[in-house]
Amino acid sequence: AETGYDLWLRYQPVEAQWRERYAARVTHFTAADGPTMLAAAGELRRGVAGMLGYDPARREAVTGDGAVVLGTATSPLIAPLGLPLTRLGAEGYLIRSAVIQGKRVTVIAGNEEVGVLYGVFRFLKLIQTRQPLDGLDISDAPKLRVRVLNHWDNLDRYVERGYAGQSIWDWQKLPGHKDPRYTDYARANASIGINGTVLTNVNANADVLRPEWLAKVKALAEVFRPYGIKVYLTARFSAPIELSGLKTADPLDPQVAHWWKAKVDEIYRVIPDFGGLLVKANSEGQPGPSDYKRTHAEGANMLADALAPHGGTLMWRAFVYAAENPDDRHKQAYAEFQPLDGKFRDNVLVQVKNGAIDFQPREPFHPLFGAMPKTPLLMEVQITKEYLGFATHLAYLGPMWEEALQADTYRPRKGMTVAKVIRGVAGVANIGSDMNWSGSQFDQANWYAFGRFAWDPEAKAEPIAKDWAAMTWGNDPAVTGPIVAMMMASREAVVDYMTPLGLGHLMATGHHYGPGPWVSDLARPEWNPVYYHKADAGGIGFDRTATGTNAAAQYAPEVAANFADRKRVPERFLLWFHHLPWTYRARSGRTLWDELIVRYDRGVDAVTGMEASWKALEGKVDPRRWAEVRDFLAIQRDEAGWWRDASIAYFQSVSKRPLPAGHAAPA
């Protein structure tokens, strides 16, 4: 039975009317040896076997029509064609229908072998999505250099904020046993162009830097290497103390710098193409340079200097907010990092969450984007749905990422969207040991979409959903149509039933799954939902204009003016920036109180609608996956109702306003 293990690489047989057409274009193939070319060839064979039902032969030469010619610019069959490959960079590819020695062939070429691998996945996708293979002239290259997953995986296989089982890294059996699943993981990532993976949690355990663990990391790196995926690790800033008994981890102490240099040299002896280190410092209790009164730049640069001789990268997170800082949490990362622009080494990437605070269902873009022009920034998103209903709630995150990437920073001028100012993307993985990898069938779409947006931050969520749906659920438009419609509306539904109108951080303590807008007794004020919604008898919302914390002023003047004006701010951010009376008129003409309730109802209705759409697909998709989705939608429907009813009941206890006519009281 279908479990979802094959992800979007299911390679199911094509319909009869396509089979002959495709088979004529893939009669045999040519490819050099070399690990990445073998991976590319292996994928081609696997895809053709699944979709067309035969194993295409590998030949030394083109022996007839229908050859697929795999190779780089210097391959003997490809070099004479003079293809315009140079502008495609190290990872781009070109797929072209061509004639070689009088035979009609398809060339899949890249400057490097990894481009060929990416090209093969694209070629197979043409078949998966029933595109013609004639007259092909496709070229593509990633727009961003850094496209990495961040696994928040602990060494004991517990995945922080993971909802898909244990970590897939089976450390106990490594390096002796390389689970074939690691190869499937690499295939899935390569199919969407992901080129790096941070294996360990940002709340880091220094032990992974010990020699016996590095041997395990090396084994994973060996599996991933042919697929163009580099391995990275998180570094605990206090590791010199914990692993070697140094008295300090002060980044300006020569002994400390020496320790890291030796450690990094050791890592590169074990893994010559190691990607680099990722650090969460002085955030939520993690050690860091501030412990020694040093700046983030001083901390990052010390590690960057150790990595630089090896070509390694240091990713340093900007997710900081301090218990002792009474200022609006929205403002803290900007306040701390923006003044450091220009102070980081060239091989430092500052990793900034997409939103100003923390992975909420909706947030305005982080004010650091565009504000550090001398520092390459990564945008970090959470693929795992910590704040969007874990794996049971269906929420396709493509529209959320499109919204963040298309936000205009106006820095230095209009049109400079987040997509245009970043150098790369990091995604907190939603991958675990569950049979279906992501905890649910539909959460696979978020992994898929992450890769697509990392490859092309100008991409659009809907065509990505269409591709995914066709590859994952089959090509019947009667199936993909409703599925794409469900996906495209799903994230907005979650926003509506959890955090409508620009609210955020209303989740219950610790797990962040259910509602908790009433929570007010946590030691750190900025962990309490009441800190964020500020609802009282008079109204609701967080005043981040000049009369409040003035966080809006961290954005470019044009953006700030927009956010700070209650008439111009997009309604989706209304209560993020404004505290307004319950009687305030929403754009619908309703009072804010009534509008809030309309949004909660709308969210629940959207889930009921998804459930009905899915029920209508019974028998059109395989029963096991269908039943899993049906069950999860029922859970989501119940819990959307729980979110709505609990939230409204709480807000009513402060607003003291009657429920509007037409709102169904909770059952």
Residues that bind ligand GCU (CB under 6 A): 160-161, 202-203, 280, 284, 319, 358, 386
- Considering the complex, state which of residue 15 and residue 284 has its C-beta at the smaller distance from ligand GCU: 284
- Considering the complex, state which of residue 30 and residue 167 has its C-beta at the smaller distance from ligand GCU: 167
Minimum distance of ligand GCU from residue 573's CB (angstroms):
21
Distances (CA, A) of 661 to 121, 539, 591, 594, 665: 54, 20, 13, 9, 10
284 is catalytic: yes
Q: What is the DSSP string of 335-382?
A: HHHGGGTT-S-TTEEEEEESBSSS--SS-PBPTTTTT-TTS-EEEEEE
Task: Give the chain's radius of gyration (CA, Å).
Answer: 26
- Considering the complex, state which of residue 25 and residue 353 has its C-beta at the smaller distance from ligand GCU: 353
Minimum distance of ligand GCU from residue 304's CB (angstroms):
20
How many CB atoms are closer than 10 A to CB 17? 8
- Considering the complex, state which of residue 113 and residue 386 has its C-beta at the smaller distance from ligand GCU: 386
Minimum distance of ligand GCU from residue 433's CB (angstroms):
19
Distances (CA, A) of 403 to 370, 484, 622: 16, 18, 33
Minimum distance of ligand GCU from residue 317's CB (angstroms):
7
- Considering the complex, state which of residue 284 and residue 618 has its C-beta at the smaller distance from ligand GCU: 284
Angle at 43 between CA 162 and CA 382, to 5 degrees: 20
Residue from 336, 386, 543, 611 carrying the catalytic annotation: 386
Distances (CA, A) of 317 to 286, 287, 288, 337: 12, 13, 11, 10
- Of all helices (H) and strands (E), which one includes residue 242? helix 239-244
Of 374, 488, 378, nearest to 442 (Cα)?
Answer: 488
Question: Which residues on adjacent β-strands are paired with residue 91?
Answer: none
- Considering the complex, state which of residue 286 and residue 480 has its C-beta at the smaller distance from ligand GCU: 286
- Considering the complex, state which of residue 160 and residue 184 has its C-beta at the smaller distance from ligand GCU: 160
- Considering the complex, state which of residue 512 and residue 579 has its C-beta at the smaller distance from ligand GCU: 512
Alpha-carbon span 293 to 252, nearest angstrom: 10
496 is catalytic: no
Alpha-carbon span 462 to 468, nearest angstrom: 10
Minimum distance of ligand GCU from residue 316's CB (angstroms):
13
Residue from 134, 273, 284, 631 carrying the catalytic annotation: 284
Q: Among positive and negative, which fits the CA dihedral 98, 40, 448, 348?
A: negative
Alpha-carbon span 191 to 296, nearest angstrom: 35
Alpha-carbon span 242 to 257, nearest angstrom: 15
- Considering the complex, state which of residue 39 and residue 204 has its C-beta at the smaller distance from ligand GCU: 204
DSSP secondary structure code for residue 88 in this structure = G
Minimum distance of ligand GCU from residue 386's CB (angstroms):
6
- Considering the complex, state which of residue 110 and residue 389 has its C-beta at the smaller distance from ligand GCU: 389
Alpha-carbon span 551 to 438, nearest angstrom: 36
Residue from 184, 358, 571, 622 carrying the catalytic annotation: 358
Alpha-carbon span 150 to 598, nearest angstrom: 37
Q: Among positive and negative, which fits the CA dihedral 83, 86, 88, 90?
A: positive
Cis peptide before 412 (omega within 30 of 0): yes
Minimum distance of ligand GCU from residue 280's CB (angstroms):
5
Minimum distance of ligand GCU from residue 422's CB (angstroms):
18
Minimum distance of ligand GCU from residue 201's CB (angstroms):
8
Distances (CA, A) of 531 to 420, 504, 524, 548, 647: 33, 10, 10, 13, 15
Alpha-carbon span 518 to 535, nearest angstrom: 10
Distances (CA, A) of 417 to 47, 289, 379, 438: 37, 32, 12, 30
Minimum distance of ligand GCU from residue 505's CB (angstroms):
10
43 is catalytic: no
Question: Which residues on adjacent β-strands are paired with residue 424?
Answer: 146, 378
- Considering the complex, state which of residue 161 and residue 625 has its C-beta at the smaller distance from ligand GCU: 161
- Per the CB < 8 A criterion, the answer to whether 108 and 93 are in contact is yes
Alpha-carbon span 200 to 363, nearest angstrom: 26
- Of all helices (H) and strands (E), which one includes residue 580? strand 580-581
Alpha-carbon span 13 to 31, nearest angstrom: 25
Minimum distance of ligand GCU from residue 50's CB (angstroms):
38
Please identify every residue annotated as catalytic.
Answer: 284, 358, 386
